[in-house]
Amino acid sequence: MITIILLVAAILIVGALLAYIIRIVPQATSYVVERLGAYHSTWTTGIHFVIPFIDRIANKVTLKEVVKDFPPQPVITKDNVTMQIDTVVYFQITDPKLYTYGVVGPITAIENLTATTLRNIIGDLELDETLTSRDIINTKMRSILDEATDPWGIKVNRVEVKNIIPPRDIQEAMEKQMRAERERRESILRAEGEKRSAILTAEGEKESMVLRATAKKEAMIAEAEGQAQATERLYQAQARGIQMIKDADPNKAYMTLKSLEAYEKIADGKATKLIVPSELQNMASILTSTKECLNMEKK
């Protein structure tokens, strides 16, 4: 019984010892190993063995890109405006040994370095430049931080200014300015629309007047042409009538009779005086005498 207990104890001790000795480093991770208190080696992905009581894993370092969102920092612009700016830093550990032994608290060191660098950059800019120069600020900060963190085994890939929060009174002034700018643009757009509308209306009225004048002119031309054609046809009819009378060679009596009919139409029972040529008077007397003779013969 005692032998079994001792065997089980020995198996447990050996298992624990093997578990301590055998170490597997996962992907995108490095182990910094110390031997007797001094740096010994950096383990990469794979299986490794630790000498008990001699080797010690000092640090487990991830090689993935790390994103740190630092809280807002108070900064003062060149024109003495205090604002809050928070930044996001994207960095990657390239040398686990330098990262482990280069600085105490690398993340805290990066945060403090970011804050001081941001204050120095914003101190050279005015408020308007700060609000419109995010790309410039990002580029300058990335360059400065990347150079400063090289001794720590850190590569700064990108720095982004997340939020710029000016004082409340500055925000209100900016909102008023933006509101005034929007109103100005709206007024300009409205004025341009009214101007365009007036131009279109005037052009429409102009075209309408031109069309009306053209139509009136064409109507007058058509009417004049119609009257001219009617007059021409009337004259042609009269000319044909005269020609037909001429061709018929009427005698003097017929012409005299037609003249009397014409005078009858002229008088029409309304004229108070009518001057008749002597020739017509003689003809009238002859016609009257002839009429009386015919009446006597009938009796």
Percent of the chain predicted with pLDDT > 70: 80
Best-predicted range by mean pLDDT (49-53, 63-67, 216-220, 236-240): 63-67
Non-local CB neighbours of 20 within 8 Å, separated by 6+ positions: 50, 52
Q: How confident is the model at residue 126 (pLDDT cuts 50, 70, 90)?
A: confident
Q: How confident is the model at residue 202 (pLDDT cuts 50, 70, 90)?
A: confident
Nearest to 161, CA basis, from 138, 190, 189: 138
Lowest mean pLDDT among 78-82, 107-111, 276-280: 276-280
pLDDT at 207 over 80: yes
Query: What's the confidence (pLDDT) of residue 288?
Result: 54
Query: What's the confidence (pLDDT) of residue 44?
Result: 92
For residues 253-266, give the mean pLDDT.
Answer: 58
Count of H-run helices and E-run strands, the chain? 8, 9
Nearest to 67, CA basis, from 87, 37, 94, 42: 87
Q: Are 106 and 99 in contact (CB under 8 A)?
A: yes
Quote the pTM value: 0.57
Query: What's the confidence (pLDDT) of residue 179?
Result: 79
pLDDT at 31 over 90: yes
For residues 5-29, give the mean pLDDT.
Answer: 84
pLDDT at 157 over 70: yes
For residues 12-31, give the mean pLDDT.
Answer: 87
pLDDT at 265 over 80: no
Q: For the chain, percent helix, then strand, then coil, each to nearest 5?
A: 60, 20, 15
pLDDT at 96 over 90: yes
Q: How confident is the model at residue 276 (pLDDT cuts 50, 70, 90)?
A: low
Query: What's the confidence (pLDDT) of residue 296?
Result: 55
Domains of the chain, CATH where assigned: 2-62 (no CATH), 65-166 (3.30.479.30), 250-298 (no CATH)
Q: Are 156 and 89 in contact (CB under 8 A)?
A: yes
CA dihedral over 261, 262, 263, 267, signed as positive or negative: positive
Query: What's the confidence (pLDDT) of residue 295?
Result: 54
C-alpha distances in Å from residue 110, one per residue of 1, 84, 123, 157: 61, 18, 20, 13
Query: What's the confidence (pLDDT) of residue 26?
Result: 92
**Mean per-residue pLDDT over the chain, rounded:** 81
Q: What phi-psi label fits residue 4: left (phi over 0), alpha (psi between -120 and 50 degrees) or beta?
A: alpha
Query: What's the confidence (pLDDT) of residue 65?
Result: 93
Q: How confident is the model at residue 292 (pLDDT cuts 50, 70, 90)?
A: low
Non-local CB neighbours of 126 within 8 Å, separated by 6+ positions: 77, 78, 79
